[in-house]
Structure 1
Amino acid sequence: MTLDAHSYGVVEVFTADDGHDVVIRGRLDVHSVPDVRDAVHAAIAAGTGEVRLHLGQAEIGDATGLGVILHLHRRATRADRRLLLLDPSERTTRLLRGCRLDRILTPRRTAVTSLSA
Structure 2
Amino acid sequence: MHVWGDDRELHLRGTLDVHSAADVRQRVHAAVDGADGDFVLDVSGVDALDATGLGLIVAIHRRAGRRERRFVLRGVTPPVHRVLVITRLHRILALENAIAA
TM-score by length of 1: 0.78
**Among 56, 61, 64, the residue aligned to 1:73:** 61
> Structure 1 residue runs of 4+, over 6 Å off?
none
Higher helix share: 2
Q: d(CA) in 2 for partners of 1:49 and 1:91?
A: 28
How far is the alpha carbon of 1:107 from its aligned partner? Answer: 1.9
After TM superposition, give the deviation of residue 29 of structure 1 in Å: 0.3
Give the Cα separation in 1 of the matches to 2:31 and 2:89. Answer: 23
Distance in 1 (alpha carbons) for counterparts of 2:48 and 2:27: 17
CA distance in 2, matches of 1:78, 1:59: 29
Seq. identity, %: 40
Picking from 84, 97, 100, the partner of 1:109 is 97
Root-mean-square deviation (CA, aligned residues, Å) is 1.4
8 Å CA contact 1:55–1:89 kept in 2: the answer is yes
Kept in 2: contact 1:27–1:60 (CA 8 A) = yes
- Match for 1:96: what amino acid? L
Residue-by-residue CA offset, 1:79-100 (whole Å, 9 max, x unaligned): 1001100011011111101101
Contact 1:10 1:32 in 2 (8 A): no
**Partner Cα distance (2:75, 2:32) in 1:** 20
What is the aligned partner in structure 1 of residue 3 from structure 2? 11
Aligned to 1:6: none
> Which consecutive unaligned segments of at least 5 residues does structure 1 have?
1-8, 111-117
Structure 2: runs of 5+ lacking an equivalent:
none
User: Which structure's relative contact order is higher, taking Cα pairs within 8 Å and 6+ residues apart?
Assistant: 2
Q: Please give the alpha-carbon distance, in whole angstroms, between the structure 1 residues aligned to 2:47 and 2:93.
A: 16
Q: How many residues align?
A: 98
